[in-house]
Amino acid sequence: SFRTIIPTRKESLKMELLSDVSLLPGEERITDKDIIYICPFSGAVKGKVLITNFRLYFKSSDADVTVTLDVPLGAISRVEKMGGASSRGENSYGLDITCKDMRNLRFALKQEGHSRRDIFEVLFRYAFPLSHGLPLFAYLSQEKYAETGWTIYKPVEEFRRQGLPNNKWRISFINKSYDLCDTYPTVLAVPYKSKEEDLRKVAAFRSRGRIPVLSWIHRENQAVIARCSQPLVGMSGKRNKDDERYLELIREANDTTKLTIYDARPNVNAVANKATGGGYEGDEYQNAELIFLDIQNIHVMRESQKKLKDIVYPNVEESHWLSSLESTHWLEHVKLVLSGAIQVADKVSSGNSVVVHCSDGWDRTAQLTSLAMLMLDSHYRTLRGFQVLIEKEWISFGHKFASRIGHGDKNHADQDRSPIFVQFIDCVWQMTKQFPTAFEFNEHLLLTILDHLYSCRFGTFLYNCESVRDQHEVRSKTVSLWSLVNSKVDMYLNPFYTPESGRVLYPVASMRHLELWVAYYIRWNPRIRQQQQSPVEQRYKELLALRDEYLKKLEQLQLSDSSTSSHLANSPTPNTTSSSTSTPSQQYTHLQTPL
Amino acid sequence: MEFAEHIKTANVEDVVLRQPLQPPSRGTLCITGHHLLFSDREESDSRQVLLLLRNIDAIEKRMSGSSGTITMKCKDLRVLQLDIPGMEQCLNIAHSIETLSCLDCVSAMYPFFYRPVDLSLPEQWGLSSPEMHYSQMKELYEKWRLSTVNRDYSVCPSYPPAVIVPKSIDDDTLKKAAKFRQGGRFPVLCYYHKKNGMVIMRSSQPLLGANRKRCKEDELLLQAVIEGSDKGYIIDTRSMQQAQQARMTGGGFESKSFYDRWKRFHRQMERGKALQESLIKLVEACGDESNNMDRWLSKLENSKWLSHVQNALSTAGLLVECVERDGHSVLVHGSEGTDCSLLISTLAQLIMDPCCRTMEGFLGLLEREWIQARHPFQQRCAHSAYSHARLQQESPVFLLLLDCVWQLWRQFPLALGFSEALLLRLATEVYASDYGTFLCNSDQERCALEVKERTHCLFRALLRPTERDYYSNPLYERTELAIWPSVHPQSLQLWKGYFLRWTQQVRHLEEAQEEIRNMVIEWGKLARS
């Protein structure tokens, strides 16, 4: 009986170790195993790993060190075997896992009996399901939420919010079956005077048919942000009258004297693109000026992020931190993206329409239009408005999430991968730091978005464009990330948010005022992590509750006020002025900071 | 008044003032003995700028034709420009500013003339005194006593008249120990850790000299500190090599053989000229307006300012580790014991003791460690980063302290009862002030000049209800825990609120902070009503 008792005890201990994992609905255990996690911060830690079809979970068994890892398999970009059956040295035989979210994991196993073979295979299979003919986890998830995130963005409604259609701009359904442009959404806003056949002719002259369409219109001055891909000028310097005429229509829509075309690329790259059939708008575009914004391409950004990872993981650079950071150029790229967006926003707010493009118009262009819109339109600075912005400018306009992130794909060295969306979120974070009261959402939302950019738990960031998403029935078969977010809004709200509808935010895009987003890029290092984070979060939650209570009381006060004085009756929200001298309402009105 | 002889032109009309964040304005310039006053001529919305001449660190004058331009670089890092018609007037004004901004005579300085109508001179100057401090700390009574051996400043000119020392050590022993310490700064208690009864002591270096003198009384004094425990620690703010070299000039360190129950750590901290030069480089980089890829981060790194911040915080961390974690008493000193020692003992108290983190607590701490225990403010803060004058004793140690406190505030947004605005105010006041608090180099000098009778005290002013409200941290929640800062370079930030203060962006952030403060206060009021 002695023999049988011991294994049972051991077994129950192991079970206990993994018993606190709460699996998602639809998540299934695949395997578990005793393993050693080579933690870069606490050294080798014995424990047990659990692999499900969604995550890798590790829990230490040593009483003195508690280490828990909970990594969605979607975050894994590469799994490698480390050492061989004959490798010498302690913990030299095992697995090396590279993640997409700025960390690496290393596990050691016993050398006897090919102990890593099954776990390697399981990991490889479930981390890269698409390479093995398996579905992404988003299709297996059975999660249910009170809110349906898929309805957060309705193109026609969003255009209506912007005041469209009007007598200068119309809504076109020419792309309803994706035959004008297979990477565009079905609903497009185009100049009122352009005919459907014009659009087809323009599409022939724009890379991948991505014609200039309206992204945003300024309610007062009617200036617009239009986006597109590069014109197919080529080496011979081709012209296209229809394209030229079409841009004229955009200019004429609000009598802009000169249409400004922002080419996100550095000048030399734009020239080089002619060799592959692309190019930029030349002098033949009368009444147009072309400005290059000097933002580098996806390959440069990928290398920059790689360098950044090198100096923050596993060990942070200590002695020459700032100059090392400088040599990654990451902040410099952030600066260029931000300052490009500032130029776009400034042009539009001074009444001039702009057209923004890069090469294909789905990376840098998306960064510029969405950031400019965030500066111009306070709606996008609300929790739900921000979701709309991402759905609209990134997801519906075909930022190639699948290619840039490589969801479920084993090909880690794919040259199409690039942290363009991460860079965008970084720019948003820089803005939230510079304007602590202007955004309804908090840093936690940005972190959550980036976590699920990789996790494959939600359908939101899957696939490259709408047409492919339709083929894969993403909306009906997967859950939206916004379902999660909008079901527990409190977690993502900034207690200090002060709505100011008319205000244009111009962040300062000088190196002096930019910071590395430590809470994201260095969050795996327990020594760098912001200390006492939970009391701060707790305090913010209390403040949110206090604010709600305050707003409720304020409303009551105003109600009782309006019963006596009728002029307040048409103030819809507490943030319009009240005649009383109570400071609360002043608070919302005196904040207009001149820029 | 003898000021008059320095003022040949007191008034100039039609002067254009250019200052950061404001459009240029035209108006009248006035020079008085202590101030530069500019009032513009706008009928409505008229603006006045009143600047303490003492605040001006350096001026540059440029003549062109019949007019001239004076650029004034202030100690609060503001840069102002005056366009003055008339060459002679311009030269006169420049001369007045140059002379009056750096008068050496303390009793002629503005605090002696500052008489606000709503304030009468205080009966009590300062927040506390060593006597009051001791009497409030009942825990001390058993083993510690208040000695008035220095009542006439004869034992140690830079100490206050009363100091706290081990009960078993009599005044004669103190006198002898004082002779063995530079400037007479014998070891005195500066902090008592209630949780475990351990203490922080402060002193200057022992005067061993080349032939390794020893002093029984000094040894006895230190022995008495750790009575009943197995050992104590000494944190020497110099490197081992520096400490050894100090023997050549009569100084040195506590050797193992005579102080066998004391374990020494050496942590080299930059001070004096090196620190001042670091500040100058940093301010230069911050003011560089060129917009090209300007290698800002490299310049920031080259200034080394942030590594001084890191070094100060990590040395303070070591001190806290000794006291709080290891449960041992510590003696801190460098050479004079008036700069880095104060810096790290202040930071350590802030990290360990929640009582030091309220606004009163913090100001009280500054008063004990920096005013009473004597940081030579007048020498250290005579000039700031712009001055072309040859450096003498200038060193921004106090500014470094404020920067470190700001880093704590940033890492622990709930733990401190005061806000960044208080730190900014102190950083400005220490260089040029209406108050007498930062005048002179020691308590003795302050008494000789009757500073306590003839000037207002900044700390008391800051604790008046309106001011206290303004400088409070709305998110404050007292925690009993030590607030251990992360000192990795990734966790430290440039204190933009100070160094980039006169930029639009920082101004905007300042406003946002104030907005948040008002919001939280307002919510609280209404919720309670």
Report the complex ipTM: 0.93
Partners of residue B489 in chain A, C-beta under 8 Å: 316-318, 321-322
Q: At what angle do helices A420-434 and A443-455 cross, to 10 degrees?
A: 170
Cα separation, A516 vs B322, whole angstroms: 33
For chain A, the distance separating the N- and C-terminal CA atoms, rounded to the nearest angstrom, is 81
Cα separation, A20 vs A66, whole angstroms: 13
Partners of residue B509 in chain A, C-beta under 8 Å: 434, 436
Q: List the single residue in B with minimal CA-CA distance to A321.
A: B489
Cα separation, B307 vs B488, whole angstroms: 10
Amino acid at A316: V
Partners of residue B291 in chain A, C-beta under 8 Å: 510
**Which of A498, A535, A587 minimises the CB distance to B414?**
A535
The Cα of A503 is separated from the nearest Cα of chain B by a number of Å equal to 14
Q: Judge: A593–B511 Cβ closer than 8 Å, yes or no.
A: yes
The Cα of A350 is separated from the nearest Cα of chain B by a number of Å equal to 21
Closest CA to B367 of B52, B75, B133, B86: B133
Phi (first) and psi of residue B257, to 5 degrees = -70, -30
**Which of B291, B295, B481 minimises the CB distance to A326?**
B295
Partners of residue B498 in chain A, C-beta under 8 Å: none
pLDDT of residue A571: 37
The Cα of A326 is separated from the nearest Cα of chain B by a number of Å equal to 6
The number of residues in chain A equals: 595
Long-range contacts of B22-27 (CB under 8 A, 24+ apart): B22/B47
CA B130 to chain centre: 19
When the pLDDT of each residue in chain A is averaged and rounded to a whole number, the result is 90
The Cα of A541 is separated from the nearest Cα of chain B by a number of Å equal to 12
The Cα of B231 is separated from the nearest Cα of chain A by a number of Å equal to 29
pLDDT of residue A585: 33
Element (H, E) at B523: helix B504-528
In A180-215, which positions are buried (b, 16+ CB within 10 angstroms) versus exposed (e)? Answer: bbbbbbbbbbbbebbeeebbebbbebbbbbbbbbbb
Q: How far is CA A427 from CA A335, A342, A372, A558, B186, in A?
A: 8, 11, 11, 38, 55
Partners of residue A504 in chain B, C-beta under 8 Å: none
Q: Judge: B512–A508 Cβ closer than 8 Å, yes or no.
A: no
Q: Judge: B414–A312 Cβ closer than 8 Å, yes or no.
A: no
Q: How many CA atoms lie within 13 A of A473 on its CB side?
A: 4
Backbone Cα Rg of chain A: 27
Q: List the single residue in A with minimal CA-CA distance to B496.
A: A513
Q: Specify the 3-state DSSP secondary structure of A58.
A: strand
Q: Judge: B505–A530 Cβ closer than 8 Å, yes or no.
A: no
Q: Which of A358, A427, A456, A465 is catalytic?
A: A358
Cα separation, B361 vs B417, whole angstroms: 9
* β pairing state of B25-31 and B11-18: antiparallel
Partners of residue B488 in chain A, C-beta under 8 Å: 316, 318, 527-528
Q: Range with the lowest mean pLDDT among A145-149, A519-523, A563-567, B140-144? A: A563-567
Q: Judge: A510–B291 Cβ closer than 8 Å, yes or no.
A: yes
Question: From the candidates B278, B291, B308, B488, which should be mutated to test the interface with A, based on the most A CB atoms within 10 A?
Answer: B488
Q: At what angle do helices B296-303 and B272-287 cross, to 10 degrees?
A: 160
- With cut-offs at 50, 70 and 90, classify the pLDDT of residue A486: very high
Question: From the candidates A296, A321, A336, A582, which should be mutated to test the interface with B, based on the most B CB atoms within 10 A?
Answer: A321
Known catalytic residue: A465?
Answer: no
Query: Is the pTM for the entire model greater than 0.95?
Result: no
Question: From the candidates A513, A544, A583, which should be mutated to test the interface with B, based on the most B CB atoms within 10 A?
Answer: A513
Partners of residue B519 in chain A, C-beta under 8 Å: 496, 498, 547, 587
Cα separation, B18 vs A573, whole angstroms: 41
The Cα of B488 is separated from the nearest Cα of chain A by a number of Å equal to 7
Q: Encode chain B (529 residues) as per-residue pLDDT tens digits.
A: 578 888 998 899 999 999 998 889 999 999 999 999 999 877 777 788 999 999 999 999 999 888 899 999 999 999 999 999 999 999 999 999 999 998 888 899 999 999 988 777 777 888 999 999 999 999 999 999 999 999 999 999 999 999 999 999 999 999 999 999 999 999 999 999 999 999 999 999 999 999 899 999 999 999 999 987 889 999 999 999 999 999 999 999 999 989 999 999 999 999 889 999 999 999 999 988 765 557 899 999 999 999 999 999 999 999 999 999 999 999 999 999 999 999 999 999 999 999 999 999 999 999 999 999 999 999 999 999 998 887 789 999 999 999 999 999 999 999 999 999 999 999 999 999 999 999 999 989 999 999 999 999 999 999 999 999 999 999 999 999 999 999 999 999 999 999 999 998 899 999 999 999 999 988 888 777 7
Phi (first) and psi of residue A354, to 5 degrees = -130, 150
Q: Judge: B489–A318 Cβ closer than 8 Å, yes or no.
A: yes
Binding-site residues from annotation of A for substrate: 297-298, 358-364
With beta carbons less than 8 A apart as the criterion, state whether A332 and A430 touch.
Answer: no
Residue A373 has pLDDT above 70, yes or no: yes
**Which of A322, A512, A539 minimises the CB distance to B475?**
A539
Q: Judge: A554–B518 Cβ closer than 8 Å, yes or no.
A: no
**Which of A321, A528, A550 minimises the CB distance to B527?**
A550
Torsional sign, CA B454, B459, B463, B468: positive
